[in-house]
Amino acid sequence: MQNGTSFFSQIPPVTKNLIIINLIVWLAMFILPGRLGVGLENYGGLHYFHAADFNPAQLITYMFMHSTQSFAHIFFNMFSLWMFGMTLERTLGSARFLFYYISCGVGAALVQEFIWMLTWEDTFVRLLSTNFHLDFPEAKEYLQQMTASAEGKEWLARNMNIFITIGASGAVYGVLLAFGMLFPNAPLYLFFIPVPIKAKWMVIGMGAIELLIGLSESAGKADGVAHFAHLGGMIFGFLIILYWKKKGTFHGIY
């Protein structure tokens, strides 16, 4: 409490409302599946664009949904949004911050779609190889034969619904990137590390880690996390901030 105002009232409006919306949707994901008979992520989660259940609105809706299997998913995303989003919103202004946040989330989704486009065939071939005890070339030929017909293409579109991503991480990684670019020398403390790390080094380190894990994931060691989507949020954030810097948007604050 300070001067009679609450802690919550000190959070800028866009950051505050993004956190509220994410929490409401997360609670709805617990309640509504029992009434609908299916999880909300089947409607609002990001699907591959060739999947039967894909629709363009998912490029936005997915970033407001989080796993109900682990509180850590929404907690760390919202904690990071609160921690860095407040400063960023006050720096950019609410309207520009909202544009930036949504743009990074959509950018992350587009990168994830591109990665799925490159990897879906190998994923299906590996599944067929495992389920039907085929070697890789045989499984690939079997998939090509199966999808040569209209019925096979329908089967493929239905089964492509296995590709689904939810979470605000792509947008949040964009927020972290912007903080690192605008306040590169700001000292940050990480868990279990007693010395401060400059924001620019933390952002570079996080990007490198996501790239390395993402490449490992592409090699067949998937951990269920959309690492390239995180990178996508950072890439789109970098381009937007770079453009705004060249336009003189920030008036030398960085």
Segment holding 53, helix H or strand E:
none
What pLDDT was estimated at residue 4?
45
What pLDDT was estimated at residue 134?
79
Return d(Cα 109, Cα 59) in angstroms, integer. 6
Return d(Cα 107, Cα 172) in angstroms, integer. 12
Cβ atoms of 126 and 218 within 8 Å: the answer is no
What pLDDT was estimated at residue 104?
97
Q: Is residue 57 part of a domain?
A: yes
What pLDDT was estimated at residue 81?
95
- pLDDT band at residue 250 under the 50/70/90 scheme: low
Q: Is residue 140 part of a domain?
A: yes
What pLDDT was estimated at residue 254?
42
Q: Is residue 1 part of a domain?
A: no
Q: Over the stretch 198-246, which tens digit does the pLDDT of each residue have?
A: 888 888 888 888 888 877 765 445 556 788 899 999 999 999 999 998 8
Nearest by Cα to 112 from 217, 231, 212:
231
Residue 122 structure tokens: 């190998």
Cβ atoms of 177 and 105 within 8 Å: the answer is no
Would the pLDDT of 109 be above 90?
yes
Q: Is residue 253 part of a domain?
A: no
Q: Is residue 106 part of a domain?
A: yes
- pLDDT band at residue 161 under the 50/70/90 scheme: very high
- pLDDT band at residue 132 under the 50/70/90 scheme: confident
Domain of residue 108, CATH code: 1.20.1540
What pLDDT was estimated at residue 37?
53
What pLDDT was estimated at residue 115?
92
What pLDDT was estimated at residue 253?
47
Would the pLDDT of 79 be above 60?
yes
Q: Is residue 121 part of a domain?
A: yes
Burial of 221 (0-12, 13-18, 19+ CB in 10 A): exposed
Number of domains in the chain: 1
- pLDDT band at residue 6 under the 50/70/90 scheme: low
Which domain covers residue 120, as residue numbers?
A: 21-31+39-246
Q: Is residue 166 part of a domain?
A: yes
Q: Over the stretch 29-47, which tens digit does the pLDDT of each residue have?
A: 988 775 655 688 889 999 9
